[in-house]
Structure 1
Amino acid sequence: MASVEQIMKEALALPSASRALLAEKLVESLEFDVDETLQMLWTDEAKKRRDEIRSGTVPPISGEEGLARVRQLLE
């Protein structure tokens, strides 16, 4: 059986599309304890925010601007 180091070396030598597919499959293989209630709440919140932007209630801002605002708040 190949060592983790050997597998990693071989994986890093793959083309980027193949590495991306491998990474996706590795992440999928991890077991996550998903709190269904929490997942539902986050989904509802995301849909609410999407709808606010679509309706014009809340103006969208760029990711850069959002991060700048967060940094400013943390200072």
Structure 2
Amino acid sequence: MSITVEQLTEAALSLPSEARALLADRLVESLDPAQDREIQALWTAEAMRRRDEVRSGSVAPISRREAIERIRRILP
């Protein structure tokens, strides 16, 4: 018997959050390592760009609380 991606997704989403996190981690680890390195390099560059913006004063950091409040105002 073959399981569809939709069936697999439905089953995965019914798992407790800790099990979903473990599954997601294992799926990400199964991806092409070369692609993973590229993605990691892109995230590193983005983090450094953001750090530099804060250090230069062109962007002001906000607290976690303020970030969550802004997100809640945007989302329905």
Q: Deviation above 4 Å: which 4+ runs of structure 1?
A: none
* Alignment size in residue pairs: 47
Shift of 1:70: 0.9
- Contiguous gaps of at least 5 residues in structure 1: 1-29
- Contiguous gaps of at least 5 residues in structure 2: 1-24
Provide the residue aligned with 1:25 in structure 2: none
Provide the residue aligned with 1:47 in structure 2: 48
Shift of 1:52: 0.2
Structure with larger Rg: 1
| Cα distance in 2 between the residues matched to 1:44 and 1:71 | 28
| Cα distance in 1 between the residues matched to 2:43 and 2:74 | 23
Q: If the length of structure 2 is used for normalisation, what is the TM-score?
A: 0.54
After TM superposition, list the pairs within 5 Å mapping 1:4-15 onto structure 2: none
| Cα distance in 2 between the residues matched to 1:40 and 1:72 | 32
Task: Say what the alpha-carbon RMSD is for the aligned residues.
Answer: 2.1
| Cα distance in 2 between the residues matched to 1:69 and 1:42 | 23
Shift of 1:71: 1.2
Q: Alpha-carbon deviations, 1:23-74, whole Å to 9, x = none?
A: xxxxxxx862451111100110000001000000000100110111111111
